[in-house]
């Protein structure tokens, strides 16, 4: 990374004499022999029988060994047959990438560069990736004495190899050490479970519909197939557009060694796009299949293709679960590790699908938020009125009415051509559309008013307490600055809650 360039250049431009002898038990013995007769030193590749100067046999080898880092500095070419010009030396020197920690940037990396330039006339590697150090959750160096060591074998057994690998990948932000905790591993084990459950749904849906075994198309970049009427479902156009962008962003992250970005991209895609939206909308297509299909229906075909691409993108970080699911998705002879890594395909980019899906998601999220504000029971189906401000929104809402109703848990979505009025309901007005929930259909008004008044009173009491503290000059003078800052932040938070309660109470009382 850029932050280590100056450190490296400092060592390379300020090279000093280096004492390379060490008094250690382990290491390469210094190849120097001292003559007891003429006091001269013989240096040789093989053990000499006699002094090269006086030919006497009274030689004693230097008892010291070479500095570990001197020997290690020769590693890039000494292991390949140097000084002989072997085939391995010609093929593998220089290499492309060196991965190491910042703590040995001078001890090893700079010295390998120095030796390579001196003896080979070329650098030993083109790029150096400085990885992070793994510390405990409090960013303390792990130590058996402190008792804060996280044993990788233990956590791998407890949370699974994939979860541990993914945790390390997503936390490997350049320039910062990894503050490792088991809470993060547990969270990414849940992510692995999410993927597994998504796969179970896919396999069970295929089995329930009696669909034939899926046969992957040839080549690595899959494209969606249209329905029997020649049209492409919005969710399919959208997910393949997202996958193409994901492949582009993943490739960029890999090429720049930003593994945390690659992991974050996969987490967001699988959890928030594939599972939360694509699969939920796809359920409607599956339910529409009432008889055993002779061929793979487009809804299933596109789901399998999208899932296949996503598994290949995730494989480098979570190799075991992706291998298992990829083999179950279709009959294969080779490992997913040998499959073609997905590439960015500009033909799959679909701005219209992205825009339409974003609007559809916005409608559903706003209905959910409105339900939550009114404290409507999650399992209770209610009707919602919707006014579209333009034809495009009306067309999208009508075409995807089932998806809106299913994902918002509605008994019906009633589209109207007339602007909605707030009277008798909770209204959410947005630039492109408005939503209204009739209060009589949503809540017990008397009970909700009583609850809100009680909540209002509680918040007002807390605001009064905060005001007394923050208006007390003696308190402000003596209290630590962080305490005062927290109280002010809490006052802003409670004020916002109070305003929201008052507004909701106004709506259901009018």
DSSP code string of 263-316? HHHHHHIIIIIIIIIIIHHHHHHHHT--S--SS--HHHHHHHHHHHHHHHHHTT
433 and 397 in contact (C-beta within 8 Å)?
yes
Per-residue pLDDT at 503:
85
Per-residue pLDDT at 290:
57
Closest residue by Cα to residue 75 from 112, 50, 113: 112
- Which tens digits make up the pLDDT trace of 5-33? 777 777 777 778 889 999 988 889 999 99
Cα-based distances in Å from 268 to 164, 254, 279? 18, 17, 14
Q: Is the dihedral of CA 333, 339, 342, 347 positive or negative?
A: negative
CA gap 17, 467 in Å, rounded: 68
CA gap 227, 288 in Å, rounded: 13
- 249: helix, coil or strand? helix
- Residue ranges in the chain modelled with pLDDT below 70: 1, 220, 290-291, 294, 510
Domains and CATH numbers, the chain: 2-29+64-131 (no CATH), 163-347 (1.10.730.10), 352-442 (3.40.1260), 446-509 (1.10.287)
CA gap 178, 167 in Å, rounded: 10
Question: Rounded to 10 degrees, what is the CA torsion of 193, 194, 198, 203?
Answer: 0
- Which tens digits make up the pLDDT trace of 181-237? 999 999 999 999 999 999 999 999 888 888 888 888 887 678 888 887 888 999 999
Closest residue by Cα to residue 160 from 185, 178, 125, 131: 185
Cα-based distances in Å from 490 to 80, 469, 501? 65, 12, 16
Residue 188, C-beta contacts closer than 8 angstroms, at least 6 positions apart? 159, 163, 166, 167, 170
- 411: helix, coil or strand? strand
CA gap 193, 186 in Å, rounded: 11
DSSP code string of 148-162? ----HHHHHHHH-HH
Residue 489, C-beta contacts closer than 8 angstroms, at least 6 positions apart? none
- 50: helix, coil or strand? coil
Find the length of the chain.
510
Per-residue pLDDT at 426:
80
């Amino acid at each position: 990374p850029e932050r280590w360039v100056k450190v490296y250049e400092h060592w390379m431009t300020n090279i000093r004499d280096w004492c390379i002898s060490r008094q250690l038990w382990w290491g390469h013995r210094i190849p120097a022999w001292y003559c007891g007769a003429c006091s001269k030193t013989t240096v040789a590749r093989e053990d000499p029988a006699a002094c090269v100067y006086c030919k006497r046999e009274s030689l004693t080898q230097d008892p010291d060994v070479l500095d570990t880092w001197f020997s290690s500095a020769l590693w890039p070419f000494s292991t390949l047959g140097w000084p002989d010009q072997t085939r391995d030396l010609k093929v593998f020197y220089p290499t492309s990438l060196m991965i190491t920690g910042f703590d040995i940037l001078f001890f090893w990396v700079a010295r390998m560069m120095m030796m390579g330039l001196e003896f080979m006339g070329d650098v030993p590697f083109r790029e150096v990736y400085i990885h992070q150090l793994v510390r405990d959750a409090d960013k303390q160096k792990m130590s058996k004495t402190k008792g804060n060591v996280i044993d990788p074998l233990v956590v791998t057994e407890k949370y699974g190899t994939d979860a541990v690998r993914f945790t390390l990948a997503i936390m490997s932000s350049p320039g910062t050490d990894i503050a490792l905790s088991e809470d993060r591993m547990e969270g990414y084990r849940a992510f692995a479970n999410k993927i597994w459950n998504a796969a179970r749904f896919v396999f069970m849906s295929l089995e329930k519909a009696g669909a034939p075994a899926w046969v992957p198309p040839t080549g690595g970049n899959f494209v969606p197939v249209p329905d029997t009427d020649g049209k492409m479902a919005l969710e399919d156009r959208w997910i393949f557009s997202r996958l193409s962008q994901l492949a582009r962003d993943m490739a960029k992250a890999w090429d720049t060694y930003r593994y945390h970005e690659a992991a974050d991209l996969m987490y967001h895609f699988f959890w928030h796009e594939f599972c939360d939206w694509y699969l939920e909308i796809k359920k409607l297509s599956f339910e529409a299949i009432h008889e055993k299909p002779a061929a793979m229906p487009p809804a299933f075909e596109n789901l399998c293709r999208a899932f296949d691409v996503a598994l290949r993108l995730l494989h480098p970080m979570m190799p075991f679960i992706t291998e298992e699911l990829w083999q179950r998705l279709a009959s294969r002879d080779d490992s997913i590790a040998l499959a073609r890594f997905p590439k960015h395909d500009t033909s799959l980019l679909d701005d219209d699908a992205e825009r339409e899906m974003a609007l559809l998601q916005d409608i559903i999220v706003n209905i959910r938020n409105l339900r939550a504000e009114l404290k409507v029971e999650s399992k209770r189906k209610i009707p919602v009125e919707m006014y579209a401000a333009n034809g495009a929104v009306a067309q999208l809402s009508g075409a995807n009415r089932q998806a809106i109703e299913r994902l918002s848990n509605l008994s019906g979505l009633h589209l109207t051509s007339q602007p909605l009025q707030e009277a008798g309901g909770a209204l959410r007005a947005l630039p492109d559309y408005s939503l209204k929930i009739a209060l009589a259909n949503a809540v017990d008004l008397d009970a909700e008013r009583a609850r809100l008044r009680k909540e209002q009173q509680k918040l007002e009491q807390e605001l009064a307490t905060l005001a007394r503290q923050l208006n007390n000059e003696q308190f402000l003078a003596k209290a630590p600055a962080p305490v005062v800052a927290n109280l002010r932040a809490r006052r802003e938070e409670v004020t916002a809650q109070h305003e929201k309660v008052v507004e909701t109470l106004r709506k259901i009382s009018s």
